[in-house]
Structures are given as C-alpha cells and as structure tokens.
Amino acid sequence: MGKFSTYRYLELKDDTAAPHINVRSRTIKHTRKLKKIFIFLIILALCITYFLGLFAGQSQWLDGIAKSLGYESVYHHAVIIDAGSSGSRVLAYKFRVPFTVFGPGNLDLVDEYFEQSKPGLSSYADDPAKGADTIVQLIKKAEFLTPLEKRKSTPLIVRATAGLRLLPADKAQQLIDHVARAISQLGYDVALDGVKIMDGSDEGIFIWYTINLLHNLMGGSTMAALDLGGGSTQITYQLSNKETANFPKKDQYVVPAGDNITLYTHSYLKLGLLAARYGVFQSETSEGETPEFRSVCVDPIIQREPWTYANKNYFVSGSFRVHGSKRSAIYAACHDAVRRSVMPNVDWEPKRAPLGSVAAMSYFYDVAADAGIIDVMTGGQVSVAAYRKAALEACSTPNVDQPWACIDLVYIVTLLQDVYKISDDEPIYLFKKVNGHEVSWALGLAYTTIMNRIVITP
C-alpha cells in the first residue's frame, strides 16, 4: 500500500514537471487585467460624474476659473417696496449671472440695500399723496445701487400686504393709484401691475424662496417658512406627491426649485401679531365699539396705556387679578382668551406640523428677541416650550416697558401649537439676516422676476 502511494506521488510529480500550458496562471493574469480596466472605468465614471455635478451646481470653483480667464459677469438689478401694515421698506438688489456650462443658470446675490420708514402705507388712507411720497423717498435712498444707465431695465415693484387688505376697497385703491403715478416718474421699469396688493399666497411663496435661496437649499431638502407680519401670517412648506391629496388644492402651487416641486402655502388674514392683539382685546370687551379695552393678558399695573391700531387710538388696561395668583393660572386665563379670539379666524388647520427644518421670521423673531430668548443681533434656535416659558414669566411680572409681552408671547404659542401643530421641543430657527442679507419675501420676488426675464429673453 505504501509502495502504491509512493508510485502515485512520483507519477503526479513527473506529470507536473512536464512542459504544458499553465491554465491557472493565465486565468489569474487575465482576471487582474480585467480588474485594472474595471477600476479605471469606475474612476473615470466618478470623475465625469463629479465634474458634471460641479458644472450643474454652478460651482464657485468653475466660476472663479472663468473669471480669471476674462469672463465678464452680467449684472441685473431690482428694487422692491414692501408696503407692510407696520411700516414700508425698500430692498434694492444687485445680482450677477455666474458662469455655467451644464444645467440651468441661476443668480448670485452680490449686494443689497435696505431701508424702512414708519408708519405703514395704510396709515395714509386719508392722505394718499403723502403716503405715495413716503414710498418715493425710500426709493430715492436706494438709487445709488442701480447705475443710471440700468434703471430703464430695472424692475421697480411695490407690493402692499395685509395693511391695505384690511382697508376699505376705495381707500386702498386711492393709495395704489397715487403710488403708481408717483413712482412712474423715477425712470425705472414699472409694469402695469407694478403697484398692487399682494396675495397672501405670494407672500408665503416668496419668503419660502428667500429663506431657501439664502441657505443654498434650492433643489434639495428645503426648509419650511413661517412669517408673522402685523396683519397676517403665512405658513409655507414643500409637499411630497403622496401628501397633496391631504391639502386644499387652492393652497398648492407648483414652483421651480431645481426641479418643479409642490408647495403648500396658506395665509391667515387678521392673524398677524397686531391684528391678533386687537382681536383679543376686542373679544374681551362687551361694550361694542369702544376706545377702552381691558384684558386678562395685560398686567394690572398697566392702566389706560395708549395704543394705536389701524389709524385709531385706544387705551388698554390690565384686568384685576386675585393677589397671589399662580403663574400657570394667569397664563391659562390669557391662553383661553387668545384661543377664543383666534380659532374662529382659522379657516384651515393642517393635520400635521411641517416636516424637516422650520424657519421663522418677522414678529416671531422680534418677540423672541424682546423676551431675551434669542440674541437680538444673531437670532438662534427656539421652541414652543421656550416661548411658553417666556410667556409664563411675562404674564406674571409687571413690566411697564413691555406692556404687550404677555399677550404677544401667548399668541405666538397659540399659533405655533394650536394652529400649526408644532410640538413643544421641535426646533424653530429664527432669522432676521442670513449671511448679511435681510430675510424678506422681497428677495424671492426679485429673484423670480429676474429669472423669468432671463428665461424669456433669447
């Protein structure tokens, strides 16, 4: 048996020693060659994908190279007037068209000018000529940003918001007509509808554009936008295809943002901060039309505090409280009064809170800054719980310097919690400026106006 085994081993050994084609060695070499080719193709594909992605994304790198090689940027300008209920603002913009190879072009915001004046345009309902002059003076302050030779092609747009919506139609129209005549003499491109009352939906869509443009989120995962003005408030966010059936069709708009996407936006008239404050005061008064208000949301130390709303003067006093009332009881009484006034004006309640990140502007920011929740200069992150904590303190602490702190904070909690369905600890990011630029729907309007002109122009 051992001899057989030795013989077999030698036979095999002799066979392997004989000259023949080594199939295994050839196969290994062939496989390695294919592997190298495959790796090369992968690297090539990744490089092509990367550079196409850079080009499609209008990379600063590519644009910088183009400028160094002598590419001359094309600049566009726009001047927007935000005629709000609490004041008028001019926002003048300078955009440049970056160098692009693939994909649609876009605009880079190069510079802006912001100035405001008070009171709002609606305050001049009985003197429309004077109201128009306030708008002209704002525009003149921004003239330096638009070269004289560019003004004929620079859109000048005036949009009035909730302040004019709340006026009688004839008075609102008189203001619009006076402003239109006055600005037509300034040498800008004023369209036939250059001065008009802005739809609440437009206000929501353009502020959504602004916040996402300034954060470079267009075409990606976008932020929801909450805007709180004096006369109205807007909520706007992106919907998935599955969700559109759960929202009113009249509140859905298909907008270009990389690809076309569907936005839900709803505007609540009379639920701006000042309008809501007035509504609460009025609902607590049983005497009908009166200049005297008394509210559980105002500390008793406040007596006959002057307050002007919609060109009318009022006196507001705090309701008597039982000595030693707990903070929670004072807050609850105010919250009940706010809900009784607010909820009947809510014509549509979303079934859920916005998904993803939520950005809030305007009075959301100002009230939080006054309460010390955020830094007045830089903004920051807040929550419904943070607003409520500040409200509990404001409602039980006498403060003659901030007589409306309690009612305003409680109203914001009510709006976020009861209307928008935002939970206590969900982060809300407050912005007044982003990278030095004002957070205003005016930027969204200017951007889309110029982009539409670029697309139409051959």
230 annotated binding-site participant: yes
CA distance 295 to 151: 51
DSSP per residue over 192-223, as a string?
Answer: TTSEEEPPHHHHHHHHHHHHHHHTT-TTSSPP
Backbone angles phi, psi at 259, to 5 degrees: -100, 170
Structure tokens at 73: 């940027």
Nearest one of 200, 227, 204 to 432, comparing CA atoms: 227
Contacts of 74 (CB under 8 A, 6+ apart): 96, 97
The amino acid occupying position 60 is: Q
232 annotated binding-site participant: yes
Give CA separation, 410 vs 303, 342, 416, in Å.
20, 11, 10
- Asked if 341 and 288 count as a contact pair (C-beta separation under 8 A), the reply is no
Does an H or E element contain 317, and which?
A: strand 312-318
234 annotated binding-site participant: yes
Catalytic-role residue among 72, 112, 203, 393: 203
The DSSP secondary-structure symbol of 250 reads: G
Residue/partner pairs of 193-199 with CB below 8 Å, 24 or more apart: 194/155, 194/156, 194/157, 194/158, 195/158, 195/160, 196/158, 196/159, 196/160, 197/159, 197/160, 197/161, 197/164, 197/165, 197/172, 198/159, 198/160, 198/161, 199/267
Nearest one of 330, 340, 405 to 367, comparing CA atoms: 405
How are beta strands 428-430 and 88-97 bridged, if at all? unpaired
- Asked if 232 and 200 count as a contact pair (C-beta separation under 8 A), the reply is yes
Does an H or E element contain 226, and which?
A: strand 224-228
The DSSP secondary-structure symbol of 416 reads: I
- Asked if 394 and 368 count as a contact pair (C-beta separation under 8 A), the reply is no
Is 203 a catalytic site residue? yes
**How many residues belong to the chain?**
458
Structure tokens at 328: 């929670």
Annotated binding residues for ATP, written as ranges, equal 230-234
Annotated binding residues, written as ranges, equal 230-234
So which residues are the catalytic ones?
203
